[in-house]
Amino acid sequence: MKKIVIKYGLWAALITLGLPLIGEIILQSGGGRVDFTTGEIIGYASMAAAMIFVFLGMKKFRDEVNNGKLSFLEALKVGLLIAVIPAVGFGLYSYVYSEFLHPEFMDEYYSYSIEQMKESLPEAEFEAKVAELEAQKEMFMNPFVNFFVMFATVFIIGVIFTLVSSLILKTAGEPDQLEQNLNLS
């Protein structure tokens, strides 16, 4: 199981980190830069695409290691372990990116957010949102908070993919312990 988790987790991390980097490189080579909206779309799309490796890793474990059998809890374990790898990778990348590669990122992102709110909110609501945003800015400047939020973003997507994949890939037969506990009532 360890070999499968590492292999598929690293593939997922490569996709999670690689697609946004490729997009940035392509746009910069043309003299442009990814705007924040496009960056978010590319980022979330890469996270979702990477989670295909959660499914593939679970399937490989079921078919080639576990003799075609997979309980819900086994599937959950394999999927979550795979999902941790790209989550850690993205958290570390976010830290390195905002601290060393693009230190102005937070200031630019907050300026962009303020402009977006200014265009769409009434004046009274705008002032309250700016104050809220300033409080968040201080929090996100902390590298540990930045890491954790980015880790959690990828991991939560991984949890969703793991749950769905576990339901799809679990094999019929003996109910696992969780199913037995749920059917006691």
Residue 79 domain flag? yes
Is 180 contained in some domain?
no
Q: How many domains does the chain have?
A: 1
171: which residues sit within 8 A by CB, 6+ positions away?
62, 68, 69, 70, 71
Mean pLDDT of the chain: 89
CA 123 to chain centroid, in Å, comes to 34
The per-residue pLDDT for 105 is 86
Q: Does residue 182 sit within a domain?
A: no
With 90 as the cut, is the pLDDT of residue 79 above it? yes
Domain that holds residue 92: 2-172
Whole-number pLDDT of residue 176: 54
Q: Is residue 155 part of a domain?
A: yes
Q: What is the pLDDT of residue 177?
A: 55
In a domain, 107, yes or no: yes
Cα–Cα distance for residue pair 105/35, rounded to 1 Å: 11
Q: How confident is the model at residue 78 (pLDDT cuts 50, 70, 90)?
A: very high
Q: What is the pTM of this model?
A: 0.86
pLDDT at 178: 53
Whether the per-residue pLDDT at 171 is higher than 70: the answer is yes
Token pair of 20 as six digits? 């946004």
User: Which of these, 82, 98, 73, lies nearest to 161 by C-alpha position?
Assistant: 82
- Domain assignment present for residue 183? The answer is no
Query: Could you tell me if residue 181 is inside a domain?
Result: no
